[in-house]
Amino acid sequence: MSSPKINAKASYRLGLGQKLLLLLLPVVVALAALCFGRIMIAPREVFLAVWGKLTGRQTVTGTVALTVWNIRLPRILLALLAGAALSTAGCAFQSLFANPLATPDTLGVAGGASFGAALGILLGFGLIGIQMTAFAIGIAAVALTWLGGSGRGRGLTSVVLSGIMIGSLFSALVSLVKFVADAESQLPAITYWLMGSLQSAGYQNLTYGAPPIAVGVVVLLLLRWRMNLLPLSDDEARSSGANIKALRAVTVICATAMTAACVAMCGQVGWVGLLIPHMCRMKFGSNHVSMLPASVSLGAAFLVVVDTVARSVTAAEIPISILTAIIGAPFFIVLMRRSGGWRL
């Protein structure tokens, strides 16, 4: 049995300068995002607001302090977490299924979480109740996908097909909820939530949503040396001494939990889990030792930039999934053209 082709950069290792750049990039972008918005705040005032909060001696106006700490900082933290989680989940699923078009929603988690959130809005739950319902049903959707697609003699292709079916099922259920929802209050809320937004970010919902993301990202980073085995067949992976079934299970659980938490907190955000891993693979190769940390860093920075644009360019906030698609689709086409992926 022949081994799959490996990218020419498969053995690429990050240099010290690149590691520092990837580490500092989300931090620098986040600090810059604190300054930008419909109310512009000078970097010096941002620094004083942060310093005053840490020392307890505030020297800036209450408006500046409130804007920095209660409005912008929670959004930026959520954007960092969601961007890192979606890009990491996309990277993991593309390797697991050996499919460059795999996304964090390949197993139907986003469809299930969207139905859970729509159902929570229909039932009149509060924000935390909506998020918990979305997270729980998102996890349940992946469990149904795995039960339907796995089994003796079935490969990962069956799991992918099952995920498509489960995603379609929950998409139909979302449409049913929208059909029976009140057209004056509930339907607009459901529609806006499904388009994705970080507007509801707050420290309380971050307390509930951040742990699954943080744990998932850390676990996959710790396993990044072994994740190079994911595209291999069972026989090839077994010959390396790795427990490939356990590795696949951990990868699916972590990626699913991260995606469900993201969808529960900020709705459906497309393209991040498809575009960022492709960018990292083209730059750093297919070695997860380099590609996964790069996906975490670039995904976090990318979503902070997009969210800053979404809340700054117009008086009415633009749903973030609209911007990720507008930015992501042309950029992805350019990447494919430059990498020789398409020939016309």
In angstroms, what CA-CA distances link 159 with 82, 117, 147, 221, 312? 25, 24, 9, 24, 41
* Cβ-Cβ contacts under 8 Å for 26 (sequence gap 6 or more): 80, 84, 297, 300, 301, 304
The tens digit of pLDDT for each residue in 80-92 reads 999 999 999 999 9
In the block, tokens 């799959």 appear at 4
CATH 2.60.40.1220 corresponds to the domain 24-339 = no
What's the pTM value of the predicted model, to 2 decimals? Answer: 0.89
Quote the CA–CA distance of 14 and 3 in Å, as a whole number.
25
pLDDT of amino acid 340: 57
Which residues of the chain, if any, have pLDDT below 50?
Answer: 1-9, 342-344
pLDDT of amino acid 2: 38
pLDDT of amino acid 336: 72
The tens digit of pLDDT for each residue in 293-338 reads 999 999 999 999 999 999 998 888 888 989 998 888 888 787 777 7
pLDDT of amino acid 6: 40
The domain ranges of the chain are 24-339
pLDDT of amino acid 233: 74
Q: Is 104 helix (H, G, I), strand (E, B) or coil?
A: coil
pLDDT of amino acid 218: 96
